[in-house]
A and B are shown apart, each in its own frame.
Chain A
């Protein structure tokens, strides 16, 4: 990868840096690993999977050579199961629950899931069929994991489903936000295609609130599922944030997936602000774009960091530097308005805040300057508050309030799932939970509309 003394890196080499890091299991490895599975009864791995994939069953099917059945078992429970095979924090979920943790070593469930879904992708398998049309229409706003899951389940029930997607392609963060060396776009796009093939119409480049009025959607559809996720990274609210060379991490990652790579970052020094999984993504993308030095600055310590341990390890292996207890105060530009330096201040942990985490407090007089060429902000995401309000939904700081069993919002016709309901003590930010919420919301919609059909019949 990057090496300080190396002057020229070809674009092909940069592109290669974005190839999927982990190779899939070989058929022989998959055979051995799948045969190692105990096929537990009432298996704890199933309980630990937010989408409840029947893991022993899909693994048994790999062992028996029934790969189509295996992929179907996975995708049945999780419409974005191919993506989740790559991005799920499996050691905290299924693999963490594997009984073999108490014996030898856990089954590589994520890798086996990838093996089965890769087979389905490669062999262009259609795994599901649309249901017989029931004459009802549901709008899904947002084509990310939650929206796709909801749409697929509704299509299988026979609804006419339309997804409104602001971007050029559906898939949400799986398509745009997760680094391609962990999740290639083609995987997410296959999942999108699986949903489309059930007759779901995906209106891309159609932003609700801009291209179509929420009221129009509420009028035209029998139910709405709001699955718009979150928005861009918020402002740091420090001087120099408008300078050339200051980036939003989500956008930064997105550009590595949607635009031609350039030599722009070769040999450069990059500071990433924040220590969540998006910060890690921005940092490792920077390394792969040829940056000479990449630092992650975090105002708290490793203990409070929200990135998964495996993400942290991954970044360290990419030579990303971590500067704990360091907060940005000011971004300094040169005469052309380009980032030149980042002024930081050291922090210390004070009393715990309302969330139980110790609050970082600046150490007076500890300011110092870092020479940097780019600053990437990864301090969380803002909300689509305006859209939520345009739908007239109750919310807290943009987090839509829902009934946690049905995902119904304050408008009985609108249900919400995914990151749009994550936060303020509600939900989880994983792809796999978004998928499950999408399913649950779809079932709730079905339940409600079916009841109303029976009433009107």
Chain B
């Protein structure tokens, strides 16, 4: 049994799985049910001046019959009075003292407002604070959420104001709706953030109803952009986490968020630098009990790998993530088709023929059996065939011995510059 406990910037929890600030953490009832199910922590749905929500708030994207490949929402922060939330946080913390409760906060970008809410929330015994600089819809129109999170100076200033009053660790939650997230991440660090979390949701329109021509979702025939999350956003989130993790100026822990649905996703985020993860869509899709497999699968993975503590995973893949200019141009892999596994669907052939490098031949042997073969000399090792192949093990991408010593683009440019210099 591996040690699943984490300590993220001083916030301790029994496992790395937190519920993100979102509908699942709207009330004490829900958070307590989540803790009973096994979640290690919960970021309470964002507190602030209570708002009014619309009906028709969520929409999802199905892909090839699979529901909720991506999820979109236009729900805002809490619509319940602050006192009610604070009372429930107090009660929940009392019942679950070893679980992490982090309060997500959003107020107007004014120093006193931040001081006031931080003090009130910390009074009920939260383990940490998460500043919501990411909510992309609704609140941003009022100058909060992503609107303030897109301006590095406002990120820095607000972080500083919160830190002035805070006694517990402060996590700054960043918006992905920005060209370079490391800029706002650095601003948060400059403002004194103890940790950063990412990503908040991505600006999105889930769809258009092709019969009514209404947006999906629509509110009385009108729509507005929402925030996108769920499995579809994972690669975007993972990249942003990795970019921050490998940036030497961003030297605070990262709480990873974005499309995490299984223990495997969590392992990937932690390898790429996350100190823990937050989950929302998967729980909204399947209920709180999915954490059982997350914990179990993570534990089995760590045991299988002989890793004593989940914290030993953190950042182990970060050094392997770099710039394109540092990749070895002389590394060669080619596709090789295993005839005994191949089921002859010819998907690799047509993918290569139509859209890649025309190097998979459809052939017939002397007995009249059809087979597929890669012309390795023409194969550029793009991986496409192995991606479209439906049969596990039918196509291997095989590494060939280096014909020339490794050389990256950057090294090549340096060498070329040397020649020019002569």
> Please, how many angstroms separate the alpha-carbon atoms of A40 and B350 in the complex?
9
Residue on A nearest B354 in the bound complex, by CB:
A41
CB of A300, distance to nearest CB on chain B (Å): 32
| B189-207 vs A, Cβ < 8 Å mask (1 yes, 0 no) | 0000000000000000000
| B370-398 vs A, Cβ < 8 Å mask (1 yes, 0 no) | 00000000000000000000110000000
Taking A42-B362, A103-B391 as contacts, is the C-beta distance between A31 and B65 under 8 angstroms? yes
Q: Which residues of A contact B65 (CB under 8 A)?
A: 31-32, 34-35, 63
| B49-68 vs A, Cβ < 8 Å mask (1 yes, 0 no) | 00000000000000011000
Q: Which residues of A contact B349 (CB under 8 A)?
A: 41
A2-35 interface with B by 8 A CB criterion: 31-32, 34-35
In the complex, whether A122 has a CB less than 8 A from a CB of chain B is no
In the complex, whether B363 has a CB less than 8 A from a CB of chain A is no
CB of A310, distance to nearest CB on chain B (Å): 24
Q: Which residues of B contact A63 (CB under 8 A)?
A: 64-65
| B328-366 vs A, Cβ < 8 Å mask (1 yes, 0 no) | 000000000000000111110110000000000010000
**Are B343's CB and A41's CB within 8 A?**
no
**Are B347's CB and A41's CB within 8 A?**
yes
Q: Which residues of A contact B350 (CB under 8 A)?
A: 41-42
**Are A38's CB and B347's CB within 8 A?**
yes
**Are B343's CB and A42's CB within 8 A?**
no
**Are B347's CB and A40's CB within 8 A?**
yes
In the complex, whether A102 has a CB less than 8 A from a CB of chain B is yes
B295-315 interface with A by 8 A CB criterion: none
Q: Which residues of B contact A31 (CB under 8 A)?
A: 65
Taking A41-B349, A41-B350, A42-B362 as contacts, is the C-beta distance between A99 and B344 under 8 angstroms? yes
CB of B370, distance to nearest CB on chain A (Å): 9
CB of A45, distance to nearest CB on chain B (Å): 11
**Are A35's CB and B64's CB within 8 A?**
yes
Which of B64, B345, B349, B390 has the largest count of A CB atoms less than 10 A from its CB?
B345
| A92-131 vs B, Cβ < 8 Å mask (1 yes, 0 no) | 0000000110110000000000000000000000000000
In the complex, whether A44 has a CB less than 8 A from a CB of chain B is yes
> Please, how many angstroms separate the alpha-carbon atoms of A41 and B346 in the complex?
5
CB of B325, distance to nearest CB on chain A (Å): 37
> Please, how many angstroms separate the alpha-carbon atoms of A35 and B69 in the complex?
15
**Are A100's CB and B343's CB within 8 A?**
yes
> Please, how many angstroms separate the alpha-carbon atoms of A298 and B51 in the complex?
82
Q: Which residues of B contact A43 (CB under 8 A)?
A: 345-346
Q: Which residues of A contact B346 (CB under 8 A)?
A: 40-43
Residue on B nearest A32 in the bound complex, by CB:
B65
Q: Which residues of B contact A38 (CB under 8 A)?
A: 345, 347, 390
> Please, how many angstroms separate the alpha-carbon atoms of A54 and B379 in the complex?
30
In the complex, whether A308 has a CB less than 8 A from a CB of chain B is no
CB of B176, distance to nearest CB on chain A (Å): 30
**Are A40's CB and B345's CB within 8 A?**
yes
Residue on A nearest B389 in the bound complex, by CB:
A38
> Please, how many angstroms separate the alpha-carbon atoms of A38 and B346 in the complex?
10
> Please, how many angstroms separate the alpha-carbon atoms of A41 and B362 in the complex?
11
Which of A38, A43, A63, A100 has the largest count of B CB atoms less than 10 A from its CB?
A38
> Please, how many angstroms separate the alpha-carbon atoms of A41 and B391 in the complex?
15
> Please, how many angstroms separate the alpha-carbon atoms of A63 and B343 in the complex?
22
In the complex, whether A397 has a CB less than 8 A from a CB of chain B is no
**Are A41's CB and B345's CB within 8 A?**
yes
> Please, how many angstroms separate the alpha-carbon atoms of A35 and B63 in the complex?
10
**How many residues of A sit at the interface, in one of the four size bands?**
10 to 19
Residue on A nearest B350 in the bound complex, by CB:
A41
**Are A44's CB and B344's CB within 8 A?**
yes
Q: Which of B64, B343, B347, B362 contacts A103 (CB 8 A)?
A: B343
> Please, how many angstroms separate the alpha-carbon atoms of A40 and B65 in the complex?
19
Residue on A nearest B348 in the bound complex, by CB:
A41
> Please, how many angstroms separate the alpha-carbon atoms of A39 and B64 in the complex?
13
A34-63 interface with B by 8 A CB criterion: 34-35, 38-44, 63
Q: Which residues of A contact B344 (CB under 8 A)?
A: 44, 99, 102
A210-248 interface with B by 8 A CB criterion: none
Q: Which residues of B contact A35 (CB under 8 A)?
A: 64-65
> Please, how many angstroms separate the alpha-carbon atoms of A40 and B344 in the complex?
8
> Please, how many angstroms separate the alpha-carbon atoms of A41 and B64 in the complex?
19
Q: Which residues of B contact A34 (CB under 8 A)?
A: 65
Residue on A nearest B394 in the bound complex, by CB:
A103
Q: Which residues of A contact B345 (CB under 8 A)?
A: 38, 40-41, 43, 99
CB of B353, distance to nearest CB on chain A (Å): 8
Taking A31-B65, A32-B65, A63-B65 as contacts, is the C-beta distance between A39 and B391 under 8 angstroms? no
Residue on A nearest B353 in the bound complex, by CB:
A41
CB of B66, distance to nearest CB on chain A (Å): 8
> Please, how many angstroms separate the alpha-carbon atoms of A102 and B346 in the complex?
14
> Please, how many angstroms separate the alpha-carbon atoms of A31 and B347 in the complex?
21
Q: Which residues of B contact A103 (CB under 8 A)?
A: 343, 390-391
CB of B205, distance to nearest CB on chain A (Å): 20
> Please, how many angstroms separate the alpha-carbon atoms of A38 and B342 in the complex?
13
Residue on A nearest B351 in the bound complex, by CB:
A41
> Please, how many angstroms separate the alpha-carbon atoms of A38 and B391 in the complex?
10
CB of A75, distance to nearest CB on chain B (Å): 25
CB of B67, distance to nearest CB on chain A (Å): 11
**Are A102's CB and B347's CB within 8 A?**
no
**Are A39's CB and B343's CB within 8 A?**
no
> Please, how many angstroms separate the alpha-carbon atoms of A99 and B344 in the complex?
7
CB of B422, distance to nearest CB on chain A (Å): 53
CB of A46, distance to nearest CB on chain B (Å): 12
CB of B209, distance to nearest CB on chain A (Å): 13
> Please, how many angstroms separate the alpha-carbon atoms of A102 and B343 in the complex?
6
> Please, how many angstroms separate the alpha-carbon atoms of A31 and B64 in the complex?
8
Residue on B nearest A39 in the bound complex, by CB:
B347
> Please, how many angstroms separate the alpha-carbon atoms of A102 and B64 in the complex?
23
Residue on B nearest A102 in the bound complex, by CB:
B343
> Please, how many angstroms separate the alpha-carbon atoms of A311 and B343 in the complex?
29
Q: Which residues of B contact A40 (CB under 8 A)?
A: 345-347
Residue on A nearest B62 in the bound complex, by CB:
A31
Taking A31-B65, A35-B64, A35-B65 as contacts, is the C-beta distance between A99 and B362 under 8 angstroms? no
Which of B349, B350, B390 has the largest count of A CB atoms less than 10 A from its CB?
B390
> Please, how many angstroms separate the alpha-carbon atoms of A140 and B64 in the complex?
44
Residue on A nearest B362 in the bound complex, by CB:
A42
Q: Which residues of B contact A39 (CB under 8 A)?
A: 347
CB of A86, distance to nearest CB on chain B (Å): 25
> Please, how many angstroms separate the alpha-carbon atoms of A39 and B345 in the complex?
8
| A380-411 vs B, Cβ < 8 Å mask (1 yes, 0 no) | 00000000000000000000000000000000
Q: Which residues of B contact A44 (CB under 8 A)?
A: 344
> Please, how many angstroms separate the alpha-carbon atoms of A69 and B31 in the complex?
49
> Please, how many angstroms separate the alpha-carbon atoms of A32 and B345 in the complex?
19
> Please, how many angstroms separate the alpha-carbon atoms of A42 and B349 in the complex?
10
> Please, how many angstroms separate the alpha-carbon atoms of A31 and B62 in the complex?
12
Residue on A nearest B344 in the bound complex, by CB:
A99
| A251-275 vs B, Cβ < 8 Å mask (1 yes, 0 no) | 0000000000000000000000000
> Please, how many angstroms separate the alpha-carbon atoms of A222 and B362 in the complex?
45
Q: List 30 A-B contacts (CB under 8 A).
A: A31-B65, A32-B65, A35-B64, A35-B65, A38-B345, A38-B347, A38-B390, A39-B347, A40-B345, A40-B346, A40-B347, A41-B345, A41-B346, A41-B347, A41-B349, A41-B350, A42-B346, A42-B350, A42-B362, A43-B345, A43-B346, A44-B344, A63-B64, A63-B65, A99-B344, A100-B343, A102-B343, A103-B343, A103-B390, A103-B391
Given contacts A38-B345, A43-B346, A99-B345, 12 further A-B contacts (CB under 8 A): A31-B65, A32-B65, A35-B64, A41-B345, A41-B346, A41-B349, A42-B362, A43-B345, A99-B343, A100-B343, A102-B344, A103-B390
> What is the interface of chain A, defined by CB distance below 8 A to chain B?
31-32, 34-35, 38-44, 63, 99-100, 102-103
> What is the interface of chain B, defined by CB distance below 8 A to chain A?
64-65, 343-347, 349-350, 362, 390-391
Please provide the 7 A-B residue pairs with the shortest distance between their CB atoms, ordered closest to farther: A41-B350, A41-B346, A40-B345, A102-B343, A99-B343, A35-B65, A35-B64
